[in-house]
Amino acid sequence: MALAQQDTRRPPGLLSWLVSDDPPGRTVFNAVMLAILLALALAPFLFPGTKALGVSSRICIFVILVASYDLMLGYTGIVSFAHTMFFGIGAYGVAIMLSKGWVGWGAVVLGATAGAAVAAVIAALIGMLSLRLRAIFFSMITLAIASFAQIVAEQWRDLTGGEDGLTFSVPAMLRPSFKLFAEPVLGVVVNGPVITYYITFLVALILFLVMLRVVNSPLGLVLRAIRENEFRVEAMGYQVVAYRTLACVLSAVMAALAGALMALVLRYNGPDVTLSFSLMIDILLMVVIGGMGSLYGAVIGAIVVVLAQYYLQNVLAMVSTAIVGMPVMSALFHPDRWLLWLGIIFVLIVTFLPQGIVGRLRNRR
CB of 100 to other proteins, least distance (A): 22
From the list 1-9, 57-65, 193-201, 349-357, the region that binds other proteins by CB under 8 A is 349-357
Residue closer to other proteins by CB (options 30, 155) is 155
Q: Which of residues 51-80 bind other proteins (CB under 8 A)?
A: 73, 77, 79
Q: Tell me the C-alpha distance between 155 and 275, whole Å.
A: 13
**Interaction of residue 145 with other proteins, rule CB under 8 A:** yes
Query: Which amino acid, residue 165?
Result: G
Half-sphere exposure of 348 (CA within 13 A, CB side): 7
**Interaction of residue 185 with other proteins, rule CB under 8 A:** no
Exactly one of 152, 159, 205, 219 binds other proteins (CB under 8 A); that residue is 152
From the list 148-156, 204-212, 247-255, 256-264, the region that binds other proteins by CB under 8 A is 148-156
Q: Which of residues 79-108 bind other proteins (CB under 8 A)?
A: 79
Cβ contact 288:356 at 8 Å = yes
Exactly one of 224, 332, 335, 355 binds other proteins (CB under 8 A); that residue is 332
**Interaction of residue 224 with other proteins, rule CB under 8 A:** no
Of residues 245, 260, 243, the one with CA closest to residue 57? 260
Cβ contact 92:116 at 8 Å = no
* Window 226-265: contact mask with other proteins (x via CB under 8 A): ----------------------------------------
Strand boundaries in the chain, DSSP class E: 166-167, 268-269
Q: Tell me the C-alpha distance between 62 and 255, whole Å.
A: 9
Q: Tell me the C-alpha distance between 160 and 153, whole Å.
A: 6
Q: Tell me the C-alpha distance between 52 and 124, whole Å.
A: 37
Please say whether the dihedral angle defined by the alpha carbons of residues 43, 109, 268 and 168, taken in this order, is positive or negative: negative
Query: Which residues contact residue 186 at a Cβ distance below 8 angstroms, ignoring those fewer than 6 apart?
Result: 45
CB of 191 to other proteins, least distance (A): 38
**Interaction of residue 337 with other proteins, rule CB under 8 A:** yes
Cα 164 from chain centroid? 24
Q: How many residues interact with other proteins (rule CB under 8 A)?
A: 39
Half-sphere exposure of 60 (CA within 13 A, CB side): 30
Q: Tell me the C-alpha distance between 347 and 205, whole Å.
A: 30
Exactly one of 39, 41, 118, 143 binds other proteins (CB under 8 A); that residue is 143
* Window 269-298: contact mask with other proteins (x via CB under 8 A): --------x---x--xx--x----------
Q: Tell me the C-alpha distance between 104 and 330, whole Å.
A: 51
Exactly one of 32, 173, 317, 340 binds other proteins (CB under 8 A); that residue is 340
**Interaction of residue 139 with other proteins, rule CB under 8 A:** yes
From the list 88-96, 186-194, 200-208, 348-356, the region that binds other proteins by CB under 8 A is 348-356
Query: Which residues contact residue 151 at a Cβ distance below 8 angstroms, ignoring those fewer than 6 apart?
Result: none
CB of 41 to other proteins, least distance (A): 32
Exactly one of 29, 168, 201, 346 binds other proteins (CB under 8 A); that residue is 346
**Interaction of residue 137 with other proteins, rule CB under 8 A:** yes
356 Rama sector, left if φ>0, alpha if ψ -120 to 50, beta otherwise: left
Residue closer to other proteins by CB (options 110, 339) is 339
Cβ neighbours of 159 (radius 10 Å) = 14
**Interaction of residue 148 with other proteins, rule CB under 8 A:** yes
**Interaction of residue 331 with other proteins, rule CB under 8 A:** yes
Exactly one of 3, 117, 339, 353 binds other proteins (CB under 8 A); that residue is 339
Tell me phi and psi for residue 291, to 5 degrees: 125, 120
What residue ranges bind other proteins (CB under 8 A)?
A: 73, 77, 79, 134-137, 139-141, 143-145, 147-148, 151-152, 155, 277, 281, 284-285, 288, 328, 331-332, 334, 336-337, 339-340, 342-344, 346-347, 350-351, 354
